[in-house]
A = this chain, B = another copy of it.
Amino acid sequence: MRTAKRITAADVARLARVSTATVSLIVNGKADGRVSAGTRARVLAAVDELGYRVDAVARELATGRRHGVGLIVPDLANPYFSQLTQGVAAGLGGGHRLSLIIADPVRDPDPGSLDRLLAGGVAGILAEAPAADLIRELDGRAPVVVLDRPSPEADHPYVGFALDDGALALADHLLGLGHTRIGYLDADIGAPTFEVRRARMERRLREAAGHGFTGPAVRCRTDIDAAAEAFAARWDAWRAAGVTALVCAADVHAYGVLRAAGRLGVAVPGELSVAAFDDLPFSAVTGPPLTTVRLSAFDLGFRAAELLVGVMGGRPMDAAVPLLPATLRVRGSTAPPAGPSEPRPGAGAGGAR
């Protein structure tokens, strides 16, 4: 906790027989014509000998400039968020350090950790789908860019996906295959992105089939195990309701469904088609490969980071950032429903594209 005694600019100055001002100029490369070659060499030698490094904390205090960017995400175990983080890191480019707050998606981050984040010399904040409370809490503390949801509470600039397109495409895909009774496995948090995914699909189903989703409304954590359990517990009810296709709010849910279906002996897509949203890299290698709506979390993070850097740099934020695409990827987990009479016809089980 307590840092060992550091080497300060004063130490260097003493050894090089100059003032700390000179040391500062030199280590910051601002010594153009202002410092003689001799002095410069002496100072550099001293720096080297002592192993001096400028203390950035002191530097940030002195200059008033902060170089950190804080990222608030719910859960790095979900590849969606780690891709997003990777995108943020890339979009930030050099020159910024990235501080992470992993916040329980349900509860907002505790105020302490928020303070700690802001504490670390944070000049801007990236918040993934923050709850309204958090948005308010953040507002005014530093430039903020919101990801994956609009920020009506404080109109921060935000980046998100054209979810409508994706939801529509998925609904039409399933409808086109001949499914009419479709179940939905939702996330257990009421984030806008999940609201939209479900609501938009449901509206389309209503238009086309005269009714929305079929069977029990199920919500569960975005976690393979939780989804597997949820599916196992509800499959009977869904089947009883005649469900032939199940849409999951996120790929991770679908992974759980696939696992549980395998164990229960439910053939996918023979007996049940499964589809989802996200298109994580693993969705191409599940058994069977997953039909899903691609939402590039990497791009989302990248764009958000770029935007934040711009805003921090004083660029006026045009809140109207174009939405990122959401396009359907059809793979092996969806197929036409089995005829009611013939239990399992040809069921093209699995098989990548």
Contacts and interface: CB of A to CB of B under 8 A. Distances in A.
A353 interface: yes
A97 B120 contact: yes
A68 interface: yes
Nearest to A332: B287
A303 to B, nearest CB: 17
- So how many copies of this chain end up in the complex? 2
A132 interface: no
B120 A56 contact: yes
Nearest to A288: B287
B286 A53 contact: no
Interface string A77-117: 10101110110010000111111111000000010110111
Residue with the greatest number of chain B CB neighbours at <10 A, chosen from A68, A75, A287 = A287
A285 B312 contact: no
A167 to B, nearest CB: 24
Contacts of A21: none
A178 interface: no
B2 A65 contact: yes
> Interface size bucket, A side?
35 or more
A150 to B, nearest CB: 24
A316 to B, nearest CB: 15
Contacts of A217: none
A305 to B, nearest CB: 12
Nearest to A62: B61
Nearest to A119: B56
Nearest to A289: B287
Main DSSP-derived SS at the A contact region? mixed
A190 interface: no
A313 B77 CA distance: 28
Contacts of A256: 285
Nearest to A67: B116
Nearest to A286: B285
Interface stretch (A37-45, A203-211, A258-266, A319-327): A258-266
A258 to B, nearest CB: 5
Contact of A117 (B97, B117, B123): B97
The winner among A76, A95, A112, A142 for most chain B CB atoms within 10 A is A76
Interface string A322-353: 00000000000000000000000000001111
A140 interface: yes
A262 B288 CA distance: 11
A89 B76 contact: yes
A17 interface: no
Nearest to A117: B97
B86 A259 contact: no
Contacts of A58: 61
Interface of A: 1-3, 51, 53-61, 64-68, 75-77, 79, 81-83, 85-86, 89, 94-102, 110, 112-113, 115-121, 123, 140-142, 224, 255-256, 258-259, 262-263, 281-282, 284-289, 298, 312-314, 350-353
Given A54-B119, A100-B100, A262-B285, 9 more contacts: A2-B64, A55-B61, A58-B61, A61-B61, A76-B76, A77-B281, A94-B110, A99-B99, A258-B285
18 contacts: A1-B314, A3-B65, A51-B140, A77-B82, A82-B85, A89-B100, A96-B116, A97-B116, A98-B99, A99-B100, A255-B285, A262-B285, A262-B289, A262-B352, A282-B285, A285-B287, A287-B288, A287-B289
